[in-house]
Every structure is written in structure tokens, then in C-alpha cells.
Structure 1
Amino acid sequence: MKQLTVIIFLAFFLVRLLYLVHSQNVDSCNNNINFNGIVNFNTTSMTCQVVWQKQDFILRYAQAGQGVWSFLLSAKDPSSWVGIGFSTNGQMKGSSAMVGWIDSNGDGKNLQYALKDLDSNSVIPGQGELTVVNKSDAVFKRSNRIYMAFQLSTPQPRTALIYAVGPSTLPSAKNGFKLTEHRDRISTTINYQTGHTKSLNKPYTGLRKAHGALNMIGWGILMPIGAMVARYFRQWDPIWFYSHTAIQVLSFLFGLVGFILGLVLEGLVKAHVKNHRNLGITIFILGCLQVMALLIRPEKGTKMRQYWNLYHHNAGKILVVLAISNVFYGIQLGMEGASWYGTYAVIVTLLVVSVVVLEIKLWRRR
């Protein structure tokens, strides 16, 4: 009986200990926090809201006085930078952001950035439209969480807020505090009176995804598979030829629709994607030439057939390389996050591995 009592006591003690450890490593709006002394404003009576559940972002805010608003952003430590942007329409372009991180020495750093456009070169450190109250900003770490505090001098903060988390590359004086591209982000709106927050969808989300998916499937997946069929399965004549033709025509049709949607989308969102568009036009032209080449294929054994083969094979290789590159570039511009990157990276890796295996077998046959 005594042994059972001891076991029960030890089990209860262990569970209690684990609970205490866990509670110290998490933050929630049920927790009473007091960072007075670390932060130069009162943090004990702020409105609290989980604003990004996926990344465990918690925002606390309060109106500290006439025209002064206090903010405290909390996130599980990503070993990278975290940021909150204040936008007029929920879009990055034209917004200003506060970004914080813990450097390699364990010191907290933060800086304001002006998001003048979507590319990283247009994210300007030390600039922005936010008026930060002097000596109100602080970044620090507690347990496994990072906290960024600051006050804004404004009658009413913007209600469209953008949250982002970066990769492991941190801003530093060596790189001019340049901000590396985020690995994930979300756009939201907040009602400062009620504390209610909700996510914002990107404009024309369905059109964006259709454009990306069709181009990825057409130019970025089917086109390389069709090229592989032509190179590695010629021993199955004439099946290889009909398979190659069918796959390439199907990939062209997918790519054609995706290309048209891209032009429509560019006009609707007024996007500045000159390089992506020019690559897309080049790919489309090469695709058209490849389809036309099938219709004017010279007879086997003729001298023109040799030149045709040289053109068709090399243009196909260039088309595949440009297509894969532009798909990755499009994912970056569309800010679709790690899921699109990861999925397509896995597909490309499988294609590359297949090419290596089939190439080895081809050399052995020869």
C-alpha cells in the first residue's frame, strides 16, 4: 500500500512538473504577463488576440494615451526574423513593417522597413511611414518565444496587418540589414475596439492558383516527361513517338491556358513582373515552335532531318530549363510559401533522379 502511494505521489509530481515546464514555454491570451522594466510601457493590461495560429503569433495592443498605441508581438522562436506590417489594403506593396530578431550574440534587434515593392531590393531598411515612439521598441526572448514591443504615435493604427516570418538568414550590419524573403506570411484585418481579427485572401486568389498550377503541370512537369519519353524509350517504336507527341501537345495546351491567365492576371493586379512575363513569353514562343516542328518534320535520312533534329532537341532542352526556372520564380513572386516550393521541388527532384537512372541505362545499352 505504501509503495502504491509513493508511486501515485511521484506520478502526480512528474505530471505537475511537466505542466509547469510546458506552461513556461508557451504563451496564450490567458497568461498574465508583466514585462514592465524590460519594455518601456505598461504591458499588463493589453487586449490580446491570436492573430496567426499556424505560426503561433499573438498580438497584444492598447491605446496608451492620446495618439499613442502600444504593441507587443509574441511568436514561438523561429530562429529567424518576425515582422508585423501596417498596410492600407492588406498588400505588402506600400506598407511599413516593424521587424525583430535575436542575433547570434543573443541580443534583440529590430528595425522599420518600407515595403516599396514585392522584390527584396525594394524592401528598404530604416525607412517607413510609422512614427515609432522614442525608446519604446524592444526585442527579447523568454523561454522558447520571441517578443517584439514598440509604440506608435498615431491617432488610429492601420487595421490591415501583415505578419511574416523569415528564413534563418538574419539581417545584419554586414549586409546593410537587408531583409531576406519571408518563408511564410499572412494578411489580416483587426478591429481595435473588439479585438476581432480575420484573415484576408489575396485578390484573385483562384486566378493566381489556376495560373500557377496550369503552368506548373504543363510547362514544368508534362513537358520534361515528354522529353524523357523521346530520349529514353525509342526502343518501343512507334509507341514512344505517339506518347511523346500526345504528352507534349497536352503540356502545350495546359501551358497555353496558364499563359493566357497570366496575362489577364497581370492586367488585373497591375503586377510588376517583367522578368517573369518575359520568360513566360519566351517559353510560349519556344513551345509554339516545338509544336510547329512536329508538323514540318522532314523525312528520315535527309540532310534537313539532321538540322531539324539538332534544332528540335536543343530547343526542347532550353524550353525545359526555362520552364522549371520560371515555375520556381513564379512561386516566389506569388509568395505561395513553402508548400508550393516543397511540392514542386520534390517533383523536380524525382524527375532529375529518373533522368540520371535512365541516362545510365541508355549508356549501358549503347
Structure 2
Amino acid sequence: MDRETNSCLFVLLIGVLLSFSPPYVISQSDSCSSALAVSDLIPFNTSSLYCTNAWSSQSFILRYGKNGANTWSFVLSAPDRGTYIAIGFSSNGKMDGSSTMAGWISSNGGTGVAKQYYLGGYSSDSCPPDQGSLPLVANTSLIVSQSSQLYLAFQLNTQMPQWSHLIYAVGPSGSLPSNNYLPEHSSKASASVDYSAGTLSGAGSGSSFNKARWHGLLVALGWGILMPVGIMMARYFKKYDPFWFYAHISIQGAGFVLGLVGIIIGFSLNDDGVNNVDVHKAIGIIILVFGALQIKAFFIRPVKTSKIRRYWNWYHHNIGRAAVILGIVNIFIGLDIASESTGWTVAYGIFLALWGLSCIFLEVKSWMAGRDYQ
């Protein structure tokens, strides 16, 4: 096998994709324009709390504010889907290593359970209950249900919360914790917060979380799927001239446009305190430059009989391979930044496996037929 085949196999081994679960559309019975319906059931004053649409796609409403010199109050409300709701506190916007308050209404007698958790990973065992660094005020943590709406309330004993990011999560619909261990969340979001100003950016605005998903989806589709398919078209279907050429430039062109839009969206996301985001951005810029060079290559493409055609081939092929490989590497970094679950990683792994096997099959078939790729 030649270098081009080795490139296909190398790309196969390093690919992985973001998880894109569709938002769960639900009605909202609580809003910031109305008074807190369960204020009489919460053991602290809620009248002067800030209120924000914390997570629009899940109808999360967050009320928070300072009560006294060293006390901060929080009330999170969300539709009751027969599972838990959670709010975490993180210094970098990631779930791992954060402390979280989670609550649910048990199926046995409708008792409310509100507990602190330390998030050490994605499995239930790595998120033990009654652990974490939140300085909870005793006897203020509870969860209540009214009109199919959950209200998780608690207070922190601190002059100013030290965590710059809030994380929201919701469990799988109809799935309650077992022995107080949480099942893996079905969806999550994060937002940066300015406690003193009472402002949130990110998921709190109801758009940045969706923008982050669109960023990942477009870049992954453009650079992680269409580009490898376009390479395969140019490599193995040249006998179908000129179909292969128009298919190749159409697929690569669509991949470039989707990737470009995804990168532009990515630069508009809030990334304060997020680990590795500078590396992620830098690689994204390099990919964009390589993609632009490929567009330029299309317009300066010499005829096949030209003496410089071999140098153009080297330039076009290797810049293209580098762009695709960097794109897939950057998907790895994006997954780490987003702290996504591994469900869709498997799906993309299956795509890459099928793509790689197809490359191998077509390569062997072409080699046996003695086809010349020059």
C-alpha cells in the first residue's frame, strides 16, 4: 500500500465525534415573570433573588442571590420528568471535579431527596453522594414538587461563591437514582456566572449551549465525515470520469463551508476558564488556512501534461490529508472540552471503521486490477 492508503488508515485510527442529543421539548410552568410558587415551602427568604432562564431547551429556571453577609441562596426549578435535576459548581466549566446539588422525588411516597455529589467521572460509582466541596447551610437543602414542577433549593455559607461556572444536568426521563447513585445524565449545559452582577452567559442566555452543539455538529460533519468521503471519491472512482471530479469538489466544498460556519460559531462561544480552548482554537485556525489553500489549489490546477503537475499533486494531496487529520484530532480536543458522554463516539467510530474498511477493500480491488493512480 502507498502513502495515500496509509493516510486513510491513519485517519481511521484517530477519529471520534461529539455527542449530539436533540433537546427535549417540554412545557414550562415556572417563569421569571411570575412569583415563586413554593416560596412558603422553602426555609429561607426568596423574594430578592435574581431570576434567569438557565437552560431554555429544558425549561430550567434559576433564582439565586445573597442573603446576609455570608449566605447565598439558590432555587432551581424544572419540569418533573420522573428523574433528577442537578446544578453543579465548577471553576472551569467542566463536570469532572465539580461539586453538584441534585434532587428528585422518590417513587415511594413522593419523598423529596436533595444531596450533594462529587463528580469524579461519568459512571455512577465515580459520583458518590454526600461528598463535594459546597459549604451547605444546614437544614436548608430540599426539593419539592408542585404542578408537575420540581424546585431544588439550598444555601451556601460563603461571602462570594468561588466557582465561575454553573453546570446543569437532567437524568434520563423516568429513571430515578438507585441507592442515591445518579444514573448518567441524558443532557447537560454550562454557563459562566457573575454573582455580583446577577448575570449569566452561556446556557443561561438560552442560546450558547445550542450554539456549542451547532459548532460541534457542523465541524464534525464537515471535517470529520464529508472530507474523508471526498478523499475516497478522488482516490477510487477516477474511472467514472468526470463524475468523480464533480463529486469530489462538491463534497469537499460542502465540507469546507460547513466547517467554516462551525468554526465561526466556535469563536463566538464563551470560553472563560475552559481548559485547552486555546489549543482547540489554534488548530481550528490551521485547519481553516489549510482549507483555504485547497480552495486556492483548485483555481491554479495545472493540466495533466504540465511538468509542474506532480508538484501540484503533492501539494494538494498532503495539505488535504493534514487538514482532515487535524480536524479529527481537534474533535478529540472538543470532546474533552465539552465533557461529552461517549455514546456518539461509538457511532462515529463505526462510521470510521466502515470508511476504513471500504478504503481497504477498494485499495485491494484497485491493486489487483493494476490501476494507475497517477
TM norm structure 2: 0.50
Give yes or no for the alignment of 1:177 onto 2:167. Answer: no
Aligned to 2:223: 218
Range with greater deviation from structure 2 (104-113 or 221-230): 221-230
For 1:237 and 1:34, the matched residues in 2 are separated by 69
Q: Deviations over 1:95-148 (max 9, x none)?
A: 3111222344443223222234xx514952222101223332111211131100
**1 or 2 for the larger relative contact order (CA 8 Å, sep ≥6)?**
2
- Mapped to 2, the partners of 1:220 and 1:171 lie a distance apart of 36
Q: What one-letter code is carried by the residue in structure 2 that aligns with 1:100?
A: G
1:186 and 2:190 aligned: yes
Indicate conservation of the 8 Å contact 1:226/1:248, yes or no: no
Q: What is the SS of the residue equivalent to 1:223?
A: helix
Compared CA separation, residues 327 and 162, structure 1 to 2 (3 A):
same
The residue identity in structure 2 corresponding to 1:140 is: V
For 1:149 and 1:52, locate their aligned partners in 2 and report how far apart those are by CA, in whole Å: 15
Moved more, 25-34 or 98-107: 25-34
Distance 1:330 1:100, change over 3 A: farther
Q: Is contact 1:140-1:147 (8 Å) kept?
A: yes
8 Å CA contact 1:103–1:109 kept in 2: the answer is yes
Q: What is residue 49 of structure 1 aligned with on the other side?
A: 51
Per the alignment, residue 59 of structure 1 pairs with: 62
Structure 2 stretches lacking a partner, 5+ long? 1-27, 261-270, 278-327, 359-374
Aligned 8 A contact 1:230 1:244 in 2: no
Within 5 Å, give how 1:133-212 maps onto structure 2: 133-158=137-162, 160-168=164-172, 170=175, 172-173=177-178, 177-192=181-196, 194=197, 196-200=198-202
Moved more, 222-231 or 50-59: 222-231
Structure 1 segments unaligned to the other structure (5+ residues): 1-23, 258-264, 272-324, 356-366
With 242-251 and 160-169 compared, the bigger mean Cα shift is at 242-251
Deviation digits for residues 191-240 of structure 1 (CA, Å, limit 9, x no counterpart): 34x5x212049x9xx99987874443233134346658999x89x83345
Cα distance per residue 1:131-179 (max 9 Å; x no partner): 22333211121113110011222232236241413242545225x6144
1:172 partner letter: P
Equivalent residue, structure 1, for 2:299: none
Give the corresponding residue for 1:269: 275
Q: Residue 62 of structure 2 contacts residue 77 of structure 2 at CA under 8 Å; is this kept in 1?
A: yes
Letter in 1 for 2:225: G
Does 1:74 pair with 2:80?
no
Q: Distance in 2 between matches of 1:99 and 1:155?
A: 23
Q: Which residue of 2 aligns with 1:321?
A: none
Q: Aligned ranges for residues 239-250 of structure 1 at < 5 Å?
A: 239-242=242-245
**Is the 2:30–2:61 Cα contact (8 Å) retained in structure 1?**
no
Deviation of the 1:187 alpha carbon = 0.8
**C-alpha distance in 2, partners of 1:31/1:102?**
22
- TM superposition shift of 1:80: 3.5
**TM-score scaled by structure 1?**
0.51
**Matches of 2:145 and 2:259 in 1, distance apart?**
50
CA distance in 2, matches of 1:144, 1:326: 44
Q: 1:326 to 1:139 in 2, by over 3 A?
A: farther
Alignment RMSD? 5.5
Does structure 1 retain, via aligned residues, the 8 Å contact 2:60–2:77? yes
Aligned counterparts of 1:56 and 1:256: Cα–Cα separation in 2: 30
Aligned residues, how many? Answer: 260
Instruction: Work out the percentage of aligned pairs sharing the same amino acid.
Output: 23
1:173 partner SS: coil
1:100: which partner in 2? 103
Larger-Rg structure: 1
Change (3 A) 1:91 1:219: closer
| Partner Cα separation in structure 2 for residue 253 and residue 25 of structure 1 | 42
